Amino acid sequence: MEMQDKKKILITGCGGMLGRAIYDVFKDHFELMATDIDLNEPWLKYLDVRDYSSVEKVLNEFKPDIILHLAALTDLEFQEKNPEEAYRTNTIGTENMVLLARKNGILLVYISTAGIFDGEKDLYNDYDVPNPLSHYGKSKYMGELCVKGNLDKYFVFRAGWMMGGGKKDKKFIYKILKQIKEGKKEIYAIENIYGTPTYTYDLARTIFEVIKTEYYGVYNCVCKGGRVSRYDVALEIINLLGLSDEIKIHKVFSDFFSASFFAPRPRSEAMIDLKLELRNMNKMRDWKECLKEYISNIKATGEI
């Protein structure tokens, strides 16, 4: 599929940390309608993917060639307490986009997650069978199944531990950076849970390149560098900031944070980009290189 400049893309959930990167990478090449329910940027328009009729109205007016579906709930604890909300947003919201994409002949791009795996393996490739543990993972996997079961042409990209959103980053890496900015001299990081960091801008650039092709299907899309723990990432952050002599990183097990993080999580949700490698399309860089770039960008904005 050859893509010409200024094709139309509707982006859902574009107010989050990945949305910022997607917007930056795509805005000069396509006519975008960037939407979210949280209008935290001047270029966002309101759209609730859970409301079928509202989405249909927007599609009829904008007439996109592609839907880039980012909208999702990502707070695991909230979703364990409120499973209906998980399925309403992550599954029904995705079903709405799928049904309308099929009805209107629109290419759908869906962002999935490493959280669909159960952690019984150390590393997961694109062809491993998901078995999610949490309501978050289950609701996202149901979204995947809906995409695959109803569309002939689609792309699914599975991301890992996301980094790159600055103040929009609600994840582990920014939490560590925030603790450092607040002057903490001791930081506790889990060593027995494993994953693979995913830099939002590398993910956005990979999506940009892959959707130009006709190699439809599911893709793991994480940084290179293998399986790491949150302790490994925290240690690298301290080293990059030159604070190894000032800040102590304590190794802890996952039960240390069990009161706050009670949703079931896989022992390992680390992935490898096997399919991207086999098709010679893997542009994802090593997570340490990406982390260095991310921290450099945050320092330049004065956030740390």
> What phi-psi label fits residue 25: left (phi over 0), alpha (psi between -120 and 50 degrees) or beta?
alpha
pLDDT in tens, the chain (304 residues): 444 558 999 999 999 999 999 999 999 999 999 999 999 999 999 999 999 999 999 999 999 999 999 999 999 999 999 999 999 999 999 999 999 999 999 999 999 999 999 999 999 999 999 999 999 999 999 999 999 999 999 999 999 999 987 777 667 888 888 888 888 888 888 888 999 999 999 999 999 999 999 999 999 999 999 899 999 999 999 999 888 888 899 899 877 776 667 788 889 999 999 999 999 999 899 999 999 999 888 877 766 6
Q: Characterize the bridge pairing of strands 66-69 and 107-113.
A: parallel
Alpha carbons within 13 A on the beta-carbon side of 204: 22
Whether 12 and 35 have beta carbons less than 8 Å apart is answered as: yes
Q: Phi/psi at 281 (nearest 5 deg)?
A: -125, 15
Q: Which fold has domain 7-170+196-224+271-285?
A: Rossmann fold (3.40.50)
Tokens 């399919």 — which residue?
A: 275
Residues annotated as part of the active site = 136
Length, in residues, of the chain: 304
**Three-state DSSP class for residue 214:** coil
Q: pTM for the whole thing?
A: 0.93
Q: Distance between CA 193 and CA 187 in Å, rounded?
A: 16
Q: DSSP letter at 40?
A: -
